């Protein structure tokens, strides 16, 4: 990656900063204004204290003026008090604005990112997103808060203090302006280098976060495969590279202070030599000289802050650029302006010569045509990677077809309002997705604002009510992360209940391949059959019963429909489906099961 790719250029730096201030600081301009007021007072306090050195030395120490002693003492107390109060006020106000910027940005960013296409999430590491939402936003706040404080308070302090210096001895003060540009040069270079390092450090940090997620989530498999040591080593590698990069950034940053200090030392030596000679020649009073030195020493802190300001600002701008980059990305799959709501009438699904490739270039669908008549159940079967899940993805527009058309009741899914489209579709997927919340909340996710009675009815429909009431807190039981406190079958029945509650006319079902015991299997089958009633269902079938009950079966292979027809007709054809049926769909142990299920079916 080149320097230019990861860092804003001078022109865009300004644009970024302007946008950051306009969109995220402006809402708090009243507080900012008050903060600026306090900054002016605090900066003035610094200069006043330095200026007081002159009467202290000349009038009190030299001339032994008692009235002046009292006056100066009172003044020092007053100035420090006012300055302290102003500093407090300014700090609190800036802290408020800074934290508000974080909160506002996080709210906006999350609300934006969550609308992105599925493709975005498949192509972006979770850790990277987490890092954008936390580290980057923190750097942005830093940039704004420190920059504004620095620009206003520190530069004002500096101006006032330099004013005092000129007031005391202008020739001496001019000397300062020779050193200043020399000091700035290395600081600018350090800032540039810091930006580069901090970008790579954040990337690594994002990968580290992703690593942690992955490891802790997959801890069962890590143990089963005895991979603890391997994982620990792999993670250590990442930790070490994060360490190296952050250490490098800190080392770069650390160079800034000593450079300034060394330059400052040389400067002070020069001042002492010149000022000392002036006093000896009676050109300068002791008080004036010490007020000058005091102002100069006090000027060191704001000067240092201003020197660091550029580094902070650049770090913040790099983060700002990344965050704005995300905010400026719009989801590609959206409703056309003014698109009408989907009117479902039976829910007939048609794929007409649909082809699709993922961003990676994998051709997943190649001219798929299929039809699910209203109210029917169509099963998709075929080898792994054939494109079955991809077919399902086309309907709620998780992805859009590259060519061909997907219609519901004759209407192209791309021509209708996407919210109404997704409202019409229920989805029960291979992996059940549950949230770390109560059973009730997890079912209610199917339809916001559902009543308690509706939730219970949905649970009953999914054969989940019985086990839910046996849980320690019934519907209020917290199920743990990803439903960790439930069995596999219970998790599936909860997600069936959720779809039940949604009560959408079209149902997409991606049957779980994970083996469940025959009893649980039967229960789930029963719940599913109930769910599929009176709905147009497109199901990816891994179970014999599902296939046998389907009205039509499509055998998918290499992104194409290889065969289609009823179970009987496909068996009679003795083609690919018949072979798959013999090999995979009917493991010997399930033969008994299958007949039981068919008998079950006859009862219906």
Ligand X SMILES: Nc1ncnc2c1ncn2[C@@H]1O[C@H](COP(=O)(O)OP(=O)(O)OP(=O)(O)O)[C@@H](O)[C@H]1O
In the region spanning residues 99 to 138, those forming contacts with ligand X, defined by CB under 6 A, are 122
| Cα gap 138→133, rounded to integer Å | 8
Kind and range of the H or E run holding 244? helix 228-280
Instruction: Tell me: does residue 389 bind ligand X (CB under 6 A).
Output: yes
Instruction: Tell me: does residue 199 bind ligand X (CB under 6 A).
Output: no
- Nearest distance from residue 331's CB to ligand X, in Å? 16
Q: Which stretch binds ligand X (CB under 6 A): 194-202, 355-363, 366-374, 576-584?
A: 355-363
| Cα gap 382→564, rounded to integer Å | 11
The residues facing 561 across adjacent strands are: 556
| Cα gap 251→405, rounded to integer Å | 58
Instruction: Tell me: does residue 492 bind ligand X (CB under 6 A).
Output: no
For ligand X, which is the closer residue by CB, 289 or 356? 356
Sign of CA dihedral 269, 275, 279, 282: positive
The one of Mg ion, ligand X, none whose footprint includes residue 8, by CB under 5 to 8 A per kind, is none
The site for ligand X, by CB under 6 A, has a size of 12
For ligand X, which is the closer residue by CB, 156 or 386? 386
For ligand X, which is the closer residue by CB, 109 or 552? 552
Instruction: Tell me: does residue 429 bind ligand X (CB under 6 A).
Output: no
Q: Of the candidates 226, 384, 568, 589, which one interacts with ligand X according to CB under 6 A?
A: 384
| Cα gap 374→413, rounded to integer Å | 16
Q: Is 221 exposed, middle or buried (0-12, 13-18, 19+ CB in 10 A)?
A: exposed
Select from 358, 342, 353 the least CA-distant residue to 425.
342
Instruction: Say if strands 411-412 and 403-408 run parallel, antiparallel, or are unpaired.
Output: antiparallel
For Mg ion, which is the closer residue by CB, 287 or 396? 396
The one of ligand X, Mg ion, none whose footprint includes residue 140, by CB under 5 to 8 A per kind, is none
Q: Is 433 exposed, middle or buried (0-12, 13-18, 19+ CB in 10 A)?
A: middle
For ligand X, which is the closer residue by CB, 286 or 430? 430
For ligand X, which is the closer residue by CB, 226 or 360? 360
Instruction: Tell me: does residue 583 bind ligand X (CB under 6 A).
Output: no
The one of ligand X, Mg ion, none whose footprint includes residue 362, by CB under 5 to 8 A per kind, is ligand X
- Nearest distance from residue 391's CB to ligand X, in Å? 7
Instruction: Tell me: does residue 390 bind ligand X (CB under 6 A).
Output: yes
Sign of CA dihedral 538, 540, 542, 548: positive
- Nearest distance from residue 512's CB to ligand X, in Å? 11
User: DSSP for 441-472?
Assistant: HHHHTTSTT--HHHHHHHHHHTT-HHHHHHST
Q: Of the candidates 140, 144, 284, 386, which one interacts with ligand X according to CB under 6 A?
A: 386
Instruction: Say if strands 403-408 and 349-357 run parallel, antiparallel, or are unpaired.
Output: antiparallel
- Nearest distance from residue 434's CB to Mg ion, in Å? 19
Q: Of the candidates 282, 360, 568, 589, which one interacts with ligand X according to CB under 6 A?
A: 360
For ligand X, which is the closer residue by CB, 28 or 398? 398
Instruction: Tell me: does residue 388 bind ligand X (CB under 6 A).
Output: yes
Q: Which stretch binds ligand X (CB under 6 A): 1-9, 344-352, 380-388, 567-575?
A: 380-388
Q: Is 558 exposed, middle or buried (0-12, 13-18, 19+ CB in 10 A)?
A: middle
Instruction: Tell me: does residue 364 bind ligand X (CB under 6 A).
Output: yes
User: DSSP for 314-375?
Assistant: HHHHHHHHHHHHHHT---SS-PPTTPPPP--SS--EEEEEEEEE-TT--EEEEEEEEEE-TT
Q: Of the candidates 37, 300, 358, 398, which one interacts with ligand X according to CB under 6 A?
A: 358
The one of ligand X, Mg ion, none whose footprint includes residue 171, by CB under 5 to 8 A per kind, is none
Tokens read off for 220: 């069962």
Select from 258, 274, 83 the least CA-distant residue to 172.
274
| Rg, C-alpha atoms of the chain | 35
Instruction: Tell me: does residue 385 bind ligand X (CB under 6 A).
Output: yes
Q: Of the candidates 217, 257, 277, 362, which one interacts with ligand X according to CB under 6 A?
A: 362
- Nearest distance from residue 353's CB to ligand X, in Å? 18
For ligand X, which is the closer residue by CB, 14 or 122? 122
| Cα gap 470→557, rounded to integer Å | 44
Instruction: Say if strands 552-557 and 377-381 run parallel, antiparallel, or are unpaired.
Output: parallel
Kind and range of the H or E run holding 114? none
For ligand X, which is the closer residue by CB, 362 or 533? 362
| Cα gap 529→175, rounded to integer Å | 89
For ligand X, which is the closer residue by CB, 323 or 391? 391
Q: Which stretch binds ligand X (CB under 6 A): 80-88, 245-253, 387-395, 516-524?
A: 387-395
For ligand X, which is the closer residue by CB, 119 or 524? 119
Q: Which stretch binds ligand X (CB under 6 A): 93-101, 183-191, 354-362, 577-585?
A: 354-362
Cβ neighbours around 359 below 10 Å, total: 10
The one of ligand X, Mg ion, none whose footprint includes residue 360, by CB under 5 to 8 A per kind, is ligand X
Residues in touch with Mg ion (CB under 5 A): 389
For ligand X, which is the closer residue by CB, 195 or 388? 388
Instruction: Tell me: does residue 387 bind ligand X (CB under 6 A).
Output: yes
- List residues binding ligand X (CB under 6 A): 122, 358, 360, 362, 364, 384-390
């Amino acid at each position: 990656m080149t320097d230019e790719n990861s860092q804003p250029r001078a022109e865009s730096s300004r644009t970024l900063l302007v946008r950051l201030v306009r969109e995220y600081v402006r809402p708090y301009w009243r507080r900012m204004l008050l903060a600026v007021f306090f900054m002016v007072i605090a900066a003035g306090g610094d200069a006043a204290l330095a200026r007081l050195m002159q009467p202290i030395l000349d009038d009190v120490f030299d001339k032994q003026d008692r009235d002046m002693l009292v006056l100066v003492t009172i003044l020092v107390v007053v100035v420090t008090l006012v300055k302290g109060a102003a500093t407090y006020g300014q700090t609190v106000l800036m802290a408020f604005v800074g934290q508000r910027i974080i909160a506002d940005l996080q709210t906006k960013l999350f609300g934006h990112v969550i609308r992105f296409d599925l493709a975005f999430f498949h192509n972006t590491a979770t850790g990277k997103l987490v890092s954008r939402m936390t580290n980057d936003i923190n750097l942005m706040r830093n940039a704004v808060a420190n920059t504004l404080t620095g620009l206003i308070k520190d530069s004002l302090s500096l101006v006032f203090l330099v004013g005092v210096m000129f007031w005391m001895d202008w020739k001496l003060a001019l000397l300062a302006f020779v050193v200043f540009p020399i000091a700035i040069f290395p600081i600018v270079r350090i800032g540039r280098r810091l930006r580069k390092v901090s970008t790579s450090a954040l990337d690594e940090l994002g990968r580290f976060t992703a690593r942690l997620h992955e490891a802790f989530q997959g801890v069962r498999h890590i143990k089963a495969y005895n991979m603890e040591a391997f994982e620990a080593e792999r993670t250590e590698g990442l930790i070490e590279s994060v360490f190296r990069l952050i250490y490098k950034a800190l080392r770069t940053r650390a160079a800034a202070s000593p450079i300034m200090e060394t330059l400052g030392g040389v400067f002070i030596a020069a001042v002492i030599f010149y000022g000392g000679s002036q006093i000896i020649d009676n050109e300068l009073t002791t008080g004036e000289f010490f007020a000058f030195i005091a102002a100069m020493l006090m000027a060191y802190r704001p000067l240092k802050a201003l020197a660091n300001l550029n580094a902070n600002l650049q770090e913040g701008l790099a983060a700002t650029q990344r965050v704005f980059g995300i905010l400026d990305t719009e989801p590609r799959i959206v409703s056309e302006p003014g698109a009408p709501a989907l009117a479902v009438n039976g829910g007939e699904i048609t794929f007409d010569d649909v082809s699709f490739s993922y961003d990676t270039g994998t051709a997943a669908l190649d001219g798929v045509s299929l039809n699910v008549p209203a109210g029917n159940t169509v099963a998709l079967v075929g080898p792994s990677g054939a494109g079955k899940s991809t077919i399902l993805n086309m309907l709620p527009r998780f992805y859009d077809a590259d060519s061909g058309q997907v219609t519901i009741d004759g209407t192209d899914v791309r021509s209708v309002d996407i919210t109404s489209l997704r409202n019409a579709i229920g989805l029960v997927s291979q992996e059940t997705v549950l949230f770390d919340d109560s059973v009730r909340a997890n079912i209610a996710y199917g339809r916001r604002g559902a009543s308690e009675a509706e939730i219970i009815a949905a649970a009953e429909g999914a054969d989940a009510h019985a086990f839910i009431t046996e849980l320690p807190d019934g519907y209020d039981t917290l199920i743990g992360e990803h439903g960790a406190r439930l069995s596999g079958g219970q998790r599936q029945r909860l997600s069936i209940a959720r779809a039940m509650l949604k009560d959408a006319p079209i149902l997409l079902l991606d049957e779980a391949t994970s083996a469940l015991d025959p009893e649980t299997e039967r229960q789930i089958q029963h719940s599913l059959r109930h769910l599929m009633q009176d709905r147009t269902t497109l199901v990816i079938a891994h179970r014999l019963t599902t296939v046998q009950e389907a009205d039509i079966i499509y055998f998918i292979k290499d992104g194409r429909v290889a065969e289609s027809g009823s179970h009987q007709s496909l068996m009679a054809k003795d083609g690919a489906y018949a072979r798959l049926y013999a090999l995979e769909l009917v493991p010997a142990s399930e033969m008994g099961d299958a007949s039981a299920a068919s008998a079950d079916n006859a009862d219906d």
